[in-house]
Amino acid sequence: MKLTGKSPLCLVPLYYVMYFVWNPADWMFGDAGNIFAKVTVSSYRFALDRYSNWSSRLWIEGATVFATHHIAWFVVISLGALLLMVFSLSYACGFETFESNLLLALCIVGLFPINSLASAGWIATTVNYLWPLAFFIFWLSIFIRRYVNSSSLPIRMTALLCLALSVFSEVLAVAAACCLLLEVIIHRRKCVSWFFGFSTLITIAGMLNVLLCPGNAIRKTREISNWFPQFEEFNIVDRVVIQSVHLATSVLETYGNLLTVFIIILACLSMVQGRKFLALLLMMVLMIFTLLGPKAQVDFQTISDLVHRSQLSHQQIVSIYPMALVFVGSLVLIVVTAASLFGLTEATVAVSVPLTISSVIGLAASMSPTLIDSGDRPFIPMYLAIATCSALVAEKLVTVAKSAVDLSTRPVGTC
């Protein structure tokens, strides 16, 4: 692992520093100023109280209090989490060269929407989502690369600790469970090891923590009353449909460049490989998304207004079923197309699995009464997955293009 090969990754935290130097943030905006700045007890005491009365995110709640009262430490730890995340992504993708890591840095800086970290305030959103996500990706990088590179015992133990910290987040507990399930499906008996066993136990403990935490039940009751009084009137399918339109609004309108760039890179790879039909298929998907985005935004705003007035009916949700089906079907088509471009290789798993799992956990947020008022926070892992997969596809595109150039410039042999 050459330092020169990884050096472009340092541009990512540098970009974040420059962003906040040129765009000074109101750190007390959102939950930090409204809730956590007013806490007078210790972070430990507050976390225990919140566990009993509000949330299973035990250490995350305490860390948010600490970060709110110690801004300098918040900035330092957040930059460290960002570095851990991008280096872990690079390791997970198997990027060793300067060029491949530069592509990863470009995609994260250019595609990952930094404003998504401000939906509940910069501090609250960053601590609740970026910090646990960095820990999760570190564990995931060790987990998926263990067949290729044998990590030392201290690194694997550190990875398990990171997993234990990350599964206090509900969405990451679901993500870990999905990863372990897919590991069993893909590798079967080969996956059996002490590392896999402990990862499974930690994930089960994380899921039980979420399900059995007394604070979560209290919080759900209060949030139904405050945010979605009709929540229990609708079934799981209805809620998933609402969340699908919410997701469509975020990735097609609010941050429309995310999927657009990813589809264009996929289409370019299709053409370089001579897969014209796949390129046309991706063009059709892009056309659908372009037409669907504005409609999704209008419909989601209508649904949101009706929810806040407690006037939403089942028939109104049924009216957006076709849009949700087209959107989800198009996402599936993108994943299938990406998989077919890479063939039966580990790269197929690397591209298709993150997109699939991040989509699932984004839609799983429909189980919460705040599925509308949580904003796009549950979609942050998906934003990162799309940016990372864009880098993977771009790296493949560059490799194929280089091979074609080398072949065309090779001297013709003489008899």
Residue 119 sits in the same domain as residue 156: yes
Residue 266 sits in the same domain as residue 192: no
C-beta neighbour count of 172 within 10 angstroms: 25
Decide if pLDDT at 24 tops 60: yes
Decide if pLDDT at 245 tops 50: yes
Q: Is residue 411 part of a domain?
A: no
Q: Is residue 412 part of a domain?
A: no
Distance CA 280, CA 283 (A): 5
Boundary of a domain, candidates 196, 225, 254: 225
Q: Is residue 410 part of a domain?
A: no
Distance CA 409, CA 92 (A): 33
Decide if pLDDT at 175 tops 90: yes
* Mean pLDDT of the region 34-54: 94
Q: Is residue 271 part of a domain?
A: yes
Q: How many residues does the chain have?
A: 415
Q: What is the 3-state secondary structure of 360-379?
A: HHHHHHHHCCCCCCCCCHHH
Residue 58 sits in the same domain as residue 194: yes
Mean pLDDT over the full length of the chain = 90
Q: What is the 3-state secondary structure of 135-199?
A: HHHHHHHHHHCCCCCCCCHHHHHHHHHHHHHHCCCHHHHHHHHHHHHHHHHHHHHHHCCHHHHHH
- pLDDT score of 193: 85
Residue 208 sits in the same domain as residue 255: no
Residue 83 one-letter amino acid = L
* Mean pLDDT of the region 140-161: 86
| Domain with 12 in it | 1-225
Residue 113 sits in the same domain as residue 37: yes
Distance CA 41, CA 47 (A): 10
Residue 246: pLDDT band (50, 70, 90) is very high
Distance CA 11, CA 86 (A): 10
Residue 159 sits in the same domain as residue 85: yes
Domain count, the chain: 2
Q: Is residue 409 part of a domain?
A: no
Q: Is residue 192 part of a domain?
A: yes
Burial letters for 2-25: b for 16+ Cβ neighbours within 10 Å, e otherwise? eeebbebbebbbebbeeeeeeeee
Q: Quick: pLDDT tens for 282-319.
A: 999 999 999 999 999 999 999 999 998 999 998 999 99
- pLDDT score of 415: 39
C-beta neighbour count of 76 within 10 angstroms: 11
Q: Is residue 387 part of a domain?
A: yes
Residue 180: pLDDT band (50, 70, 90) is very high
DSSP codes, 248-310: HHIIIIITTHHHHHHHHHHHHHHHHTT-HHHHHHHHHHHHHHHHHHHHHHHHHHHHHHHHHTT
Distance of CA 68 to the CA centre of its chain: 24
Residue 207 sits in the same domain as residue 245: no
Residue 254 sits in the same domain as residue 116: no
Q: Quick: pLDDT tens for 64-76.
A: 999 999 999 999 9
Boundary of a domain, candidates 164, 193, 225: 225
Residue 407: pLDDT band (50, 70, 90) is low
Residue 202 sits in the same domain as residue 59: yes
Residue 1: pLDDT band (50, 70, 90) is very low
Higher pLDDT, 106 or 191: 106
Residue 236 sits in the same domain as residue 280: yes
Decide if pLDDT at 412 tops 60: no
Q: Is residue 414 part of a domain?
A: no
Decide if pLDDT at 179 tops 60: yes
Given a contact cutoff of 8 angstroms between Cβ atoms, the answer to whether 371 and 92 are in contact is no
Q: What are the CA-CA distances from residue 368 to residues 57, 224, 240, 404 (Å)? A: 15, 9, 11, 50
Residue 246 sits in the same domain as residue 207: no
Any idea which of 68-72, 122-126, 322-326, 338-342 has the lowest mean pLDDT? 338-342
Q: Quick: pLDDT tens for 344-368.
A: 667 777 788 888 889 888 888 888 9
Q: Quick: pLDDT tens for 260-273.
A: 999 999 999 999 88
* Mean pLDDT of the region 28-49: 94
Boundary of a domain, candidates 168, 191, 225: 225
Highest mean pLDDT among 77-91, 183-197, 262-276, 287-301: 77-91
Q: How many CA atoms lie within 13 A of 236 on its CB side?
A: 3
Decide if pLDDT at 5 tops 90: no
* Mean pLDDT of the region 47-57: 94
- pLDDT score of 147: 66
Distance of CA 348 to the CA centre of its chain: 18
Residue 239 sits in the same domain as residue 181: no
